[in-house]
Amino acid sequence: MALNNPYAAYQQNSINMKSPGELTLMLYDGCLKFMKLAKQAIEQGDLEMKHTNLVKAQNIIQELNVTLNREVELAGSMGAMYEYIYRRLIEANINNDKDIVTEVEGYVKDFRDAWKQAIQIERQGRFGTGGHV
């Protein structure tokens, strides 16, 4: 019986222990990473690496869009933005356009930053200020 990779097991456990909010934050961070790698690939003329990373970013945006709670009023606007970002990533991939990637990267950063702030506010509400007023 072969031993499992302990690092891989640790990583899997750490993901399984994340809250849905933290998992969403990880998706935003991953999307930003893939867009950065795609821009580097465009600069280097590596079309295969550009394509691979933009498809990964597109997949994350699709996942974020599909998992939106449509009962929340803000979801309609967020869904429209996700669809726009998704279309622009496809356009960037077709045209090897780093500027388009930079444009939508800004939107994803805004979403990520807002989500991160929401998680912090939620934690403060749950755990308090640690005795500080």
Kindly write down the DSSP assignment for every residue of 89-100, as one continuous string. Answer: HHHHHHHT-HHH
Rounded to two decimals, the pTM is 0.81
- Distances in Å between the Cα of 42 and the Cα atoms of 28, 32, 54, 108 are 21, 15, 11, 19
> Mean pLDDT throughout 54-77?
94
Q: What is the pLDDT of residues 24-53, one digit of tens each?
A: 999 999 999 999 999 999 999 999 999 999
The structure tokens listed for 124 are 């403060």
pLDDT score of 3: 55
Least confident segment among 50-64, 79-93, 110-124: 110-124
Rg (CA), the chain: 18
The region that residue 69 occupies, defined by phi over 0 for left and psi between -120 and 50 for alpha, beta otherwise, is: beta
Give the integer Cα–Cα distance in Å for 55 and 77: 23
**Are residues 122 and 21 in contact, defined by beta-carbon separation less than 8 angstroms?**
yes
Q: How far apart are CA 61 and CA 72, in angstroms?
A: 18
CA distance 85 to 61: 7
What pLDDT does residue 8 have? Answer: 61
Q: Over pLDDT 70: what percentage of the chain?
A: 83
pLDDT surpassing 90 at residue 128:
no
What are the CA-CA distances from residue 78 to residues 62, 75, 108, 120, 133 (Å)?
Answer: 12, 5, 11, 20, 34
Q: What is the per-residue pLDDT for 103?
A: 98
pLDDT class of 17 with cuts at 50, 70, 90: low
What are the tens digits of pLDDT across the range 95-122? Answer: 999 999 999 999 999 999 999 998 888 7
- pLDDT of 89 higher than 90: yes
